Amino acid sequence: MRYLPLTDADRKAMLGKIGVTNTDALFATVPKDKLLGGLLDLPKGKSELAVERSMGRLAAQNTPAGSVPFFVGAGAYKHHLPASVDHLIQRSEFLTSYTPYQPEIAQGTLQYLFEFQSQVGQLTHMEVANASMYDGSTAAAEAVLMAHRLSKRRRAVLAGNLHPHYRETIATVSSMSGDEILAAPPAPAGSEELAHLIDNTVSCVVVQTPDFYGHLHDLNALAERAHAVGALLIAVFTEVVSLGAIEPPGAMGADIVVGEGQSIGNALSFGGPYVGLFATRQKYLRQMPGRLCGETVDKEGRRGFVLTLSTREQHIRREKATSNICTNSGLCVLAFTIHMSLLGEAGLRRLALLNHANAVALAELLVKVPGVELLNETFFNEFTIRVPGKAADVIERLAAKGVLGGVPVSRLEPDRAELADLIVVAATEVNTEEDRVAYAKALREVLEC
Amino acid sequence: MLNRQGRPTTPGETVASAPDTFSGNRALAIEEGLIFEIGRVDTTGVDIEEPPSFAARLGKLARRAPLGLPGLSEPETMRHYVRLSQKNYGIDTGLFPLGSCTMKHNPRLNEGMARLPGFGDIHPLQPLSTVPGAVALIAELARWLRELTGMAVVAMTPKAGAHGELCGMMAIKAALAARREHRSVVLVPESAHGTNPATAALLGYRVVSVPARADGTVDAEEIRKRLSSDVAAIMLTNPNTCGLFERDVVAIAEAVHAAGAYFYADGANFNAIVGKVRPGDLGVDAMHINLHKTFSTPHGGGGPGAGPVALSAALAPFLPLPYTIVDAHSIGYVEHAGRPAQPVADRSMASSLSAAQADRSGDAGSAGGVAPPAAPQAADRADAGAKPLGRMCAFHGQMGMYVRALAYMLSHGSDGMRQASEDAVLNANYVRNSLADLMSAPFGDQLCMHEALFDDHWLEGTGITTLDFAKAMIDEGYHPMTIYFPLVVHGAMLIEPTESESKESLDRFIASLRKLAAAARGGEVARFREAPRYAPRRRLDETKAAREPRLRWTAAQERQQAAE
């Protein structure tokens, strides 16, 4: 086996040194009747070439985003990744290291975590950010738990236009921890009235902008309303590139900002691994979940970084920890930080502008297709259209024509018949004018027949 | 639990900063500023076309808040992050015996497979008809994990070990709720990972600790004493965090089940027993599997992980969404409770992976490398009584990690994985045996599983702590073992060499540790207290970091620094 350096002679010599006659003796504490006698019903090992062949064949059954006109978003986005990002994250010293428990030989990891926390703070316009969560959806669930701890209340209000998977992820944890959620119904036209749900029994209001249907929201009034009754405003985003163009939640009164960072640095990869961003106000620092990297000095007075404030965390505090999270999204954080460093403010602003421009151009083309209605007044790089008939069928027929045209809302909300004719459509910098024209043409054909 | 063992958190007296070069650099060890210090907001390393003028649709929400994000050109970016990487120790750098973390070799084949466009460049919400290979891969990995654990179903979506714990404990809570029972206690041995009690508490359970007996394992009698109709589950790590197989595990499982409770196993240490013994055969009801430990997906500086959870037949109905269903002919996918599976792929698509032609051993002519067509997995068709506990996260879980883990499994095969576990256990025992005369073991001189545990008893009177010893290992070119964990062992040193080390590598490691141990016993205090001397940084002041938290760069700080 190519990954195992021990030879049979080594094994024999080592067993001799230990003072046992065979390997079985090392497993003597395992109940004898439970030890497997032979091999399991699984094939024997394969060469690198053989694995490449079989996995390559399987991969070829899928349609990569980069191979077709591609407009699928709704929480994960196809962006161009600079070649240098993937090269750098595969440096052995990054790829094969672990949580920086020994900071003297992990300053590389710690410094990029510090850079990441700083970048997230700048992007969201918040005071402190942690070293990441698993993804946007689990970050949202952790934010709700944090709001419960801070407010000592156990009821969360969820906006109807929160990504349905985020809503369900929060609901799973809430139902199991005995907390309550009040989820408003979806409002695909964009205008939601949440104020009547917010009273002094509510710990937090969770609202997404740009929302699941693409609408942008000014959060100021909602934040005021929440604060008036002692509740927190949790702002969610699924497209971090939007923060290069639109007002960040931290400038609109949000107390906790969480979101998905996949768009920067990370491949689509069928939904994971991604990177959850989590930022809040300084005054809430001690109730934050997850790891934090902090600046300090070494014995010679030189600047260095360490994991800090770990008395919030499970490995110290055990059942009194703020979260059970341990391993987070280290390498995805690195990819995010490198890509964001490459972009910088100038690059991010231009990238965001180009995304918006491409989405506007696409929307203008699609509304010219007979029967198609655009639901959005405002949007960033994603919007919702209404089509005649079932959106899921339209998407399948578009796929048959080689266009991946978006997400039928029914894929995520199958129980709401009133949403069955809606498609969430995303456009990014990867889309060309030809792609947009191909989409409009295919959609016209699908809707005509 | 708060540092009762006197682990030092400040580096001691400050030594005068005396860089012997003008730059502060030391040849290949180059000082590197933050991107906020070396970058500029008007610089970018990505050329992006200027969009034609258009009518924006941002309403009144165009960004007014400052961004203040520095940019770097591509060559500057390369240099910055390469320099940072050089301040890190990884598995590829040297022996990384971090106990309980299974720092095994990360095959680069796996990286390549995860980057195939058909896996890396597919969207989680593109039509299922365009991703049959992805769903087939998830189903096939689930089959391998079922086979290796001997359990009924596998919940694939949890994003890391702790998330898997949450999922498994939720399944237990849901199963109890379905029985209309509300139990409030979870038993957790004192030596458990902190994630175990944190998870139980998150779900509202009261944690009751169980002490270990003198040999480091849990006594079934101690469990029986604490069992009652109010106990929901036990969370037991096996092999445990002392590196020992819980020899009473079957009796514990029986007692737990007799009390109507469930058996959660922390699978962090699964690498010791893959292909040797199956948790399902021991009576486990739920166990998470850290794909980044046992199945070699990269640790990546702290993730991403992946924590699929194997569930027993009793817990199978509570499998979280989404999940695959495999019958004799096809693979289906369930994304919503109460809705039928959507057929996605032909069953042969998944089995083709395991039945590929060339066998590593070269005996492709025989049927040796070909899996017999497995019977339909009845347990997969849990749908009749399915009561999924909901969604653990958006989308389908850690696909990129699934691809890597399956590439590892296909490469090893059933024979290679069994050998890997045997080698991991052999290596740990070899290290343990070779150090036992100099260092003290808390539970006596007994065989261990895949990791060897020492305490600091042998350092008594030397003035040297476990931390000092670990830091001296850094100077010798090694990543230290896990220290001060498990918490129940004073000054713990938990060494997990994994199967990836050769005998020669272990011999060098042992020789270094023996010399260090002799130096410690010989009173060479400075060697340890001053360590590390040759790392990119000397010891760091953790107290200062916590007392004056500086968690990000800010413009105000920079102005203040400039003024000073």
Q: Write out pLDDT tens, residues B535-563.
A: 999 999 999 999 999 999 987 777 776 77
Sign, CA dihedral B12-B14-B20-B25, equals positive
What is the residue whose two structure tokens read 């991969």?
A59
Residues of B in contact with A395 (CB under 8 A): 127
**What is the structure's pLDDT at B559?**
73
**What is the structure's pLDDT at B374?**
39
**What is the structure's pLDDT at B383?**
61
Average pLDDT value for residue range A330-338: 97
Q: Mean pLDDT score of chain A, rounded to an integer?
A: 96
Please state, in angstroms and rounded to a whole number, the distance separating the CA atoms of residues B171 and B188: 17
The residues that bridge with B391 in the sheet, in sequence order, are B321
- Closest chain B residue to A342 measured between Cα atoms? B45
Beta carbons of A94 and B300 less than 8 Å apart? yes
Average pLDDT value for residue range B374-401: 75
- Give the contacts of A28 (CB within 8 A, at least 6 positions apart): B447
Does any CB of chain A come closer than 8 Å to the CB of residue B20?
Answer: no
pLDDT digits (tens, 9 = 90+) for A349-382: 999 999 999 999 999 999 999 999 999 999 999 9
As a whole-number percent, the residues of chain A with pLDDT over 90 amount to: 94
CA distance B376 to chain A (A): 14
Confidence band of B365 (pLDDT split at 50, 70, 90): very low
**What is the structure's pLDDT at A39?**
86
Please state, in angstroms and rounded to a whole number, the distance separating the CA atoms of residues B239 and B284: 13
Among A47, A114, A353, beta carbon nearest to B51: A353
Determine the residue type at A178: G
Does any CB of chain A come closer than 8 Å to the CB of residue B499?
Answer: yes
CA distances from B79 to A88, A184, B21, B75 (A): 10, 49, 21, 6
Confidence band of B532 (pLDDT split at 50, 70, 90): very high
User: Choosing among A36, A78, A96, which should be mutated to test the B contact, i.e. which has the most B CBs within 10 A?
Assistant: A96
Q: Is B291 helix (H, G, I), strand (E, B) or coil?
A: coil
Average pLDDT value for residue range A336-348: 98
Q: What angle do CA A198, A202, A208 make, to 5 degrees?
A: 65
Does any CB of chain A come closer than 8 Å to the CB of residue B373?
Answer: no
Among A65, A132, A311, beta carbon nearest to B2: A311
Q: Please, what is the angle between helix B466-475 and helix B503-521, to 10°?
A: 130
Residue A252 pLDDT more than 90?
A: yes
> If residue A279 lies in a helix (H) or strand (E), which one and from where to where?
strand A276-280
Peptide bond into B197 cis (omega under 30): no
Residues of B in contact with A94 (CB under 8 A): 85, 88, 90, 300-301
What is the residue whose two structure tokens read 């906020």?
B36
Residue B361 pLDDT more than 50?
A: no
Among A94, A296, A324, beta carbon nearest to B301: A94
CA distance B521 to chain A (A): 24
Residue B366 pLDDT more than 70?
A: no
The residues that bridge with B13 in the sheet, in sequence order, are none
**What is the structure's pLDDT at B66?**
92
**What is the structure's pLDDT at B112?**
98
**What is the structure's pLDDT at B7?**
75
Residue B4 pLDDT more than 80?
A: no
Beta carbons of B64 and A2 less than 8 Å apart? no
Average pLDDT value for residue range A435-447: 98
Average pLDDT value for residue range A270-292: 97
DSSP string over A315-326: HHHGGGSS----
CB atoms within 10 A of CB A388: 12
Average pLDDT value for residue range B275-297: 97
Average pLDDT value for residue range B342-348: 92
Least confident residue range of A230-244, A253-267, B374-388: B374-388
Beta carbons of A341 and B93 less than 8 Å apart? no
Residue B385 pLDDT more than 80?
A: no
The answer to whether A255 touches A283, Cβ cutoff 8 Å, is no
Residues of A in contact with B321 (CB under 8 A): 168
**What is the structure's pLDDT at A2?**
97
Residues of B in contact with A27 (CB under 8 A): 245, 276-277, 425
Does any CB of chain A come closer than 8 Å to the CB of residue B515?
Answer: no
Least confident residue range of A365-379, B87-101, B191-205: B191-205
CA distance B414 to chain A (A): 5
- Could you tell me the end-to-end alpha-carbon distance of chain A, in angstroms, rounded to an integer? 57
Task: Locate A436 and state its tokens.
Answer: 């947009």
Chain center to CA of A1: 36
Residue B378 pLDDT more than 70?
A: no
Residue B11 pLDDT more than 90?
A: no
User: Choosing among A24, A33, A48, A55, which should be mutated to test the B contact, i.e. which has the most B CBs within 10 A?
Assistant: A55
Average pLDDT value for residue range B160-184: 96
Beta carbons of B57 and A379 less than 8 Å apart? yes
Q: Is B266 helix (H, G, I), strand (E, B) or coil?
A: strand
Residues of A in contact with B399 (CB under 8 A): 269-272
Average pLDDT value for residue range B434-441: 97
- Sheet harboring B493-495: ordered strands across? B452-454, B493-495, B482-483
Residue A315 pLDDT more than 50?
A: yes
Beta carbons of A273 and B426 less than 8 Å apart? no
pTM across the whole model: 0.96
**What is the structure's pLDDT at A327?**
83
Confidence band of B372 (pLDDT split at 50, 70, 90): very low
Does any CB of chain B come closer than 8 Å to the CB of residue A330?
Answer: yes
As a whole-number percent, the residues of chain B with pLDDT over 90 amount to: 85
**What is the structure's pLDDT at B19?**
55
**What is the structure's pLDDT at A326?**
86
Chain center to CA of A178: 25
Q: What angle do CA B73, B79, B82 make, to 5 degrees?
A: 135
Does any CB of chain B come closer than 8 Å to the CB of residue A396?
Answer: yes
pLDDT digits (tens, 9 = 90+) for B117-169: 999 999 999 999 999 999 999 999 999 999 999 999 999 999 999 999 999 99
Beta carbons of A42 and B144 less than 8 Å apart? yes
Does any CB of chain A come closer than 8 Å to the CB of residue B341?
Answer: no
pLDDT digits (tens, 9 = 90+) for A109-166: 999 999 999 999 999 999 999 999 999 999 999 999 999 999 999 999 999 999 999 9
CB atoms within 10 A of CB B367: 12
Residues of B in contact with A357 (CB under 8 A): 51-52, 54
**What is the structure's pLDDT at A43?**
95
Does any CB of chain B come closer than 8 Å to the CB of residue A135?
Answer: yes
Beta carbons of B423 and A6 less than 8 Å apart? yes
Residues of B in contact with A328 (CB under 8 A): 160, 302-304
Q: Quick one: residue A402, left, alpha or beta (phi over 0 = left, psi -120 to 50 = alpha)?
A: left
**What is the structure's pLDDT at A404?**
98
Find, among A346, A348, A439, the residue nearest to A401 by Cα.
A439
Query: What part of B 252-271 touches A (C-beta under 8 Å)?
Result: none
Q: Mean pLDDT score of chain B, rounded to an integer?
A: 91
Confidence band of B15 (pLDDT split at 50, 70, 90): low
Find, among B152, B99, B486, B136, the residue nearest to B287 by Cα.
B152
State yes or no: ipTM above 0.90.
yes
As a whole-number percent, the residues of chain A with pLDDT over 70 amount to: 100
- Give the contacts of B19 (CB within 8 A, at least 6 positions apart): none
Beta carbons of B34 and A294 less than 8 Å apart? no
**What is the structure's pLDDT at B32?**
96
Residue B373 pLDDT more than 60?
A: no
Task: Locate A37 and state its tokens.
Answer: 């006698």
User: Choosing among B47, B537, B558, which should be mutated to test the A contact, i.e. which has the most A CBs within 10 A?
Assistant: B537
Beta carbons of B395 and A319 less than 8 Å apart? no
Residue A391 pLDDT more than 60?
A: yes
Confidence band of A388 (pLDDT split at 50, 70, 90): very high
pLDDT digits (tens, 9 = 90+) for A6-38: 999 999 999 999 999 999 999 999 999 999 988
